Amino acid sequence: SVRYFPVYCKGLQLLKMIQNPPIKRVDVVIIGAGFAGLSAAKLLNEVGLDVVLIEARDRLGGRVHTLRDPVIGYTEVGGGYVGPTQRCMQRLAKEFGMEWKIVREVEKTVLSSKTGWQTFKGVPNIYDPIKILDLNNIFQMVEKMSEEIPVEAPWKAPHAEEWDSMTMKEFMDKHCWTEFAKEIFTVSTKGASCAELHEVSLLQFLAGIKSGGGLVRMGSVENGAQERKLIGGLSTLLERMAETLGDKVLLSRPVIRIEQTENIAMVYCENGEMYEGKHVISTIPQGLLNRVRFVPPLPPMKLQLIQRIPMGSVIKTMMFYETAFWRDMNLSGMAMSHDGPVQTTLPDDFAEEENNVPAILGIITANECRDMCDMSKEERKNAICKHYAKLFRCDKFLEPIYYVEKNWMEEEFSGGGYGNVMPPGVLSKYGKYLSEPIGKVYFAGEETATYHSGYMEGAVQSGERAAREILHALGRIPSDEIRQEEPYPGVIPEKPIESSGIERYLPSVGGLLKFLGFFGFIVAAMGIGIGVWKLNDACSK
């Protein structure tokens, strides 16, 4: 019938669109709406380039996620802390009218190890001089070794191949004498890498220390990387960044294919949409790049790289209580534990201030994390409560009123956290391919950052660096402007961290024993000499 002809035509048109969907053409296609992707898109948009930002998840943030809940207000189940030297994050918060809150560190911290239990403020109370020398030596060693690492090219360090042929466990076993030092070093290393010591290359660990501003800065609250949290939540900052881009931010669009020619790159999404750009920035974690088909294929060394860098293993947990009863015990809620599922805890003041629900944040990493994956959420909660009751020596920890967790290993588009884990032999041989552009495709993400790799700060730096690489390719800026030092934003005071002369020059246990052995030899030689002299003197008389 004639009256059905318009409907028939519209149906054909719709079928044609489904079979051949329209192509969105822009200057730059950016994949991933975490801090790296949003920072890149924001910079390019501000200089007048047409961009589109596509994200696989149904939310912004990547490995940053502010969980909003009517019971607890909000809490960070992903990245959460910022320190005084993380200038890009301070600049963004200032630009979007957000403020920071200092993490509470008033009461004492708990340290639980096989060799004992104690509470302390500042540094642990160690009365055994051998333990003091051993612990100080291992941390001073890695700090000093990390100073040799060039942050832009760790594989060019003078001892790169030597250090990249050794695991952290081999290094620790070689240089630690006491179980106490090994326990503290193990907890610190696992907490930073989310992996077992035998899985991590010494070179990657040292590069991370140099990138993060040193072990003390990375592990401290006051004047350290855990000093502050963002009031209102990090997702609020991400949302405000996204608002500047309007409808250029598109969620729920996993990328399945990237094709490029000499002049353009085509990005294909799972839903059938296609985006054409003169350039592409990928912020996909590089260990997950093998889920995307590249045409032409990625170069051999890039393919080899992405097969060798799994993500770390971490579950972030939040246990909420009716009151912060631990403060009545003069405890801050911070703890380090060698025995049990949770190695590190911190207090979460935000839930307490928002809805008067104080909480303990617990981080489960490496094998402890993997061992708990087969448990139900309720089983994990009960195991953690029992651990806290033992760790803090208080049964009130068995009575939480709410529990939240985030298992980053089950996140399809992350595969784990905090960042990737490089076994021996990877960084020295393949490291330079992490951020090297391939045709029209540029790479960003915290793992490609020079400073604060593994942090949100590194993600921002990497996104802006990739954006400036494109501006350079377009002839907009010279090459020496691609990597820029972030100026001090004047938000959080920066105080230097320096080791005292005593810390720097205390001997190792081995050095002390060698000295004592040499000293004993001298004393013995002197005694023999004096004895021989007296004997000769007596004989001559």
Q: Give the annotated binding-site residues.
A: 55-56, 255, 447
Angle (nearest 5°) at CA 44 between 468 and 63: 85
In angstroms, rounded to a whole number, what is the distance separating the alpha carbons of residues 413 and 282?
Answer: 13
Residue 24 per-residue DSSP state: E
Token pair belonging to 411: 């996140």
Beta bridge partners of 406: 316
In angstroms, rounded to a whole number, what is the distance separating the alpha carbons of residues 14 and 201?
Answer: 54
Token pair belonging to 387: 């651990």
460, 39 Cβ separation under 8 angstroms: yes
Token pair belonging to 279: 């350039």
**Residue 281: strand, helix, or coil:** strand
- Tell me the CA end-to-end span of the chain in Å, nearest whole number: 143
428, 203 Cβ separation under 8 angstroms: yes
Cα 213 off chain centre by = 13
346, 454 Cβ separation under 8 angstroms: no
Token pair belonging to 456: 């949100």
In angstroms, rounded to a whole number, what is the distance separating the alpha carbons of residues 318 and 403?
Answer: 6
Q: List the binding residues for FAD.
A: 55-56, 255, 447
225, 86 Cβ separation under 8 angstroms: yes
**Residue 315: strand, helix, or coil:** strand
Token pair belonging to 49: 């380039």
List alpha helices for 364-426, DSSP H: 366-372, 377-391
Location of structure tokens 């592409």: 280
How many other CB atoms are there within 10 angstroms of residue 342's CB atom? Answer: 25
Residue 452 per-residue DSSP state: S
> What's at 57, amino acid-wise?
R
- Cβ burial of 246 (10 Å; 0-12, 13-18, 19+) is exposed
Cα 247 off chain centre by = 30
